[in-house]
Structure 1
Amino acid sequence: MLKRKMLAFLLTYLSIVLILSLLLVTDNNMYSEFFLYFVLIGAYSLPFILLYGVPSSIFADYLTKKLVGLIRSGVSLLIHLAMGMVIVVIAGIIFENKSLLMNFKSFLSEYLIFLFPTLLAAFLFWLSDEMLRSTFIRNKLLFITKSLDKYWDLKR
């Protein structure tokens, strides 16, 4: 399971950094700054996805281990998304606790910008994990790795 989670982390990390970098570059028409955005977003998102996303996904697996099929998948998605929202609230409590308690509307307007990337990352983590859990995808990955191993042996 840990191997699958780490591969899901890698897929999520690369896709969220690429998507957010492309969104920022196309929004600002600053295509020459793509690499800078890619590095900055990558540096900021790496610890959050690794240290919060992976344990959240393991927690979702633990909570849904007795469920099967689409029910398990749907509940797992809801848990992933809820955990994505929780990290935004936790960050708000840590950094803006007075604003949160005094004026929730201003807190929401300030932290709403963080909600989209966290929910997108949570969704992508869930999606990549579900794809890796799928036997069809696992068999395709196994076929590709075996083919690459055979190709590598022929090249030696």
Structure 2
Amino acid sequence: MLLRKFLAFLLASIIITPTLTAVLYLTSGGIFLSVLLPIIALYVVGGLFSYGIPASVLSDWLTQKMTEVKRRQYSFWFHVLSGVSFIFILGILADPSTLFNDFITYWTSMYPFFFGALFAAIVLWFCDEWVRKKRGN
């Protein structure tokens, strides 16, 4: 299972990094790609490795006795909720007063990260399911 998770992590990193880099490049007014790509890669690889893989392993453990269809559905929603909760956890650690006292300000500054985390969680889930299907486990 850990080999499958690592393969899914590598594949997801290869998909997410250039995609988020392109989106940020197009929406930011043209920040230098040579600066943006390594920064995005650092966050994507670090986040997926430290939070995405453990959440995916936990998802597999929680859904192991379910039928294939239910396992896939519950796993998807677990990945999505884990990805979005990651940003809430970072918000609580970084600046809890803004999160709890002025949610509008918090959301205004953090919504790009929510969508990035949501995208990363869905891609990681998809890659994990694809590797599972290809490897037959």
Tell me the equivalent position of 2:8: 8
Deviations 1:49-107 (A, max 9, x none): 10100000000001100112221101100000000011111011111111122122222
Q: Percent identity?
A: 30
Tell me the equivalent position of 2:45: 46
RCO (CA 8 Å, sep 6+): is it higher in 1 or 2?
A: 2
> Structure 1: where are the runs of 5+ without partners?
140-156
Note if 1:58 corresponds to 2:57: yes
Report the 3-state secondary structure (helix = DSSP H, G, I; strand = E; otherwise coil) of the residue aligned with 1:30.
Answer: coil
Aligned residues: 136
TM-score between the two structures when normalised by the length of structure 2: 0.91
TM-score between the two structures when normalised by the length of structure 1: 0.81
* C-alpha distance 38-80 of structure 1, shift in aligned 2 (>3 A): same
Q: Once superposed, what is the RMSD of the aligned Cα atoms? A: 1.7
Tell me the equivalent position of 1:71: 70
CA distance in structure 2 between the aligned counterparts of 1:37 and 1:100, rounded to whole angstroms: 27
Report the 3-state secondary structure (helix = DSSP H, G, I; strand = E; otherwise coil) of the residue aligned with 1:94.
Answer: helix
> Structure 2: where are the runs of 5+ without partners?
none
Tell me the equivalent position of 2:120: 121
The residue correspondences of 1:6-155 to structure 2 (distance < 5 A) are 6-28=6-28, 30=30, 33-134=32-133, 137-138=134-135
Aligned residue type for 1:60: S
Aligned residue type for 1:125: L
- Structure with the greater alpha carbon radius of gyration: 1
Deviations 1:114-154 (A, max 9, x none): 101101110000000000111xx237xxxxxxxxxxxxxxx
How far 1:26 sits from its partner (Å)? 3.0
CA distance in structure 2 between the aligned counterparts of 1:74 and 1:119, rounded to whole angstroms: 16
